[in-house]
Amino acid sequence: MRIHVAGHRGMVGSAIVRRLEADGTHEVICRPRAELDLTDQAAVRAFYRDERPDAVILAAAKVGGIHANNTYPADFIYQNMMIEANLIEGAFRAGVERLVFLGSSCIYPREAPQPITEEALLTGPLEPTNEPYAVAKIAGIKLCE
């Protein structure tokens, strides 16, 4: 299976790549940002058209700490939504059969009962310190639905 791992240089994405490569039964497709700007819709569409992956693992995101989220909230929402929209839509148009979208615990309400269940999504206010990132992640989940 040909698998595109978006976000292959991040903490989670790099672990996924190591696991897939150790398994040895899949062709792992990765492109650094200099070769593929995930916020560029035309570039993502062309990449999927040319590479024709069987599956996509979407681990890519603009991340940062509390200070960055609070200082640049619009950037976090915009860039993450562009990455998600371009990859999900591009994969759909290219006929990719499987897509794994990685969420985050920050998408759940700040006071969600523990352990958190999927049903807790959108049932209360988010943690304000990472709300921009969480909003974009929730939008990605809704795109996948």
Residue 94's pLDDT is: 97
Q: Over the stretch 106-126, which tens digit does the pLDDT of each residue have?
A: 999 999 999 999 999 999 999
CA distances from 126 to 6, 16, 72, 120 (A): 26, 28, 17, 11
Q: Which residues contact 35 (CB under 8 A, 6 or more apart)?
A: none
On whether the CB atoms of residues 37 and 83 are closer than 8 A, the answer is no
pLDDT in tens, 1-29: 999 999 999 999 999 999 999 999 999 99
CB 129 within 8 A of CB 69: yes
Write the pLDDT tens digit of every residue in 35-44: 999 999 999 9
Tokens representing 81 are 């939504």
CA gap 139, 96 in Å, rounded? 20
Phi-psi region of 111 (alpha: psi -120 to 50; beta: other; left: phi over 0): alpha
- Map out the domains of the chain as residue ranges: 2-144
- The predicted pLDDT at position 143 comes to 95
According to the model, what pLDDT value does residue 133 have? 92
Q: Over 90: is that where the pLDDT of 69 sits?
A: no
Domain 2-144 has CATH 3.40.50.720: yes
Report, as residue numbers or ranges, the catalytic residues.
133
Q: Residue 64's pLDDT is what?
A: 87
The span from the CA of 125 to the CA of 59, in Å, is 24
